[in-house]
Structure 1
Amino acid sequence: MYVSLLGAVAFYLERTKGEEWIMPGYWLVFSFLAVLTWSAFVFSWIGIKKGGDFSIYSTLGAMIVKLLVAMSFALIYLTKINVDKMIFVIDFISTYFFFSAFEMWALLTNLRHPNKSK
């Protein structure tokens, strides 16, 4: 649902503001970051369910791998495809930030202990 909401905002900006706010090929970047975030979330969630030290290592490992893969993607995209670099950086960083914020929110809600008082 969060991906749909974020996609709807990007679609609205693309239709109203055009290429001055959203770069051409944005949906490739959006899709890549969505799949990357989902993969990192699933790996972290499995680690949290196993518990112990593995939960910490899996969460931090997933975040670091996600960051490195995303930055590698950005570097390759910038060198291979001719786009306005400033628009790309703004679109990429904002999309990465929103997906990471959602991932942190979802993981923190899974880490919280349930209230057992009646």
Structure 2
Amino acid sequence: MLRTALVTIVLAIVFFVAERYMQVAWLHPSWKAMLVFFISVSFLLHRLVDLGLQGDREQFVPMYLGATVARLVLSLAFVGFFLYRGVADRRTFVFDFLVLYIFYTSFEIWTVSRNLRRDS
């Protein structure tokens, strides 16, 4: 979880610098809400998988797949909520969200596979 927090802090710094000192068309003004959402979901799902693994190690795969489905459903709800409220520049919002979704999901898979190689 510490790695995820560090990556989020680095992304926040990069986005802040890009927003503050450069005129970038690819960065939506709601980037802060997106980063808060992704760090919150990552923390929640990390705790869910940890709680599920306390009793039985064979439950890792179902718990991890359940966490992935929960991330997808929560992400769809987040995007749906913002689109329903009429967020400005919808295309940029959805593009930024999808890029962050793919980034965080890839980072999580890399972290899990790295830990599994070490434990096997």
1:51 pairs, out of 29, 46, 57, with: 57
Between the two structures, name the one with larger relative contact order (CA 8 Å, sep ≥ 6).
1
Corresponding letter in the other structure for 1:100: T
TM-score of the two chains, using structure 1 as the length reference: 0.82
For residue 39 of structure 1, what is the aligned residue in structure 2?
A: 44
CA distance in 2, matches of 1:39, 1:45: 10
Listed as ranges, the matches of 1:1-118 within 5 Å are 1-18=6-23, 20-47=25-52, 50-52=56-58, 54-114=59-119
Q: Deviations over 1:40-79 (max 9, x none)?
A: 2332345456411x10100000000111111111011111
> CA distance change for structure 1 residues 80 and 56 in 2, over 3 Å: closer, same or farther?
same
> CA distance change for structure 1 residues 71 and 86 in 2, over 3 Å: closer, same or farther?
same
What percentage of aligned pairs have identical amino acids?
25
CA distance in 1, matches of 2:94, 2:22: 17
* Higher Rg of the two aligned structures: 1
Contact in 1 for aligned 2:19/2:27 (Cα 8 Å): yes
TM-score of the two chains, using structure 2 as the length reference: 0.81
Contact in 1 for aligned 2:52/2:63 (Cα 8 Å): yes
1:112 deviation in Å?
Answer: 1.7
CA distance in 2, matches of 1:36, 1:111: 22
For structure 1, the residue ranges without an aligned partner over 5 or more in a row are none
Which stretches of structure 1, 4 residues or more, deviate above 6 A after TM superposition?
none
- Alignment length (residue pairs): 114
Q: CA RMSD for the aligned pairs?
A: 2.0
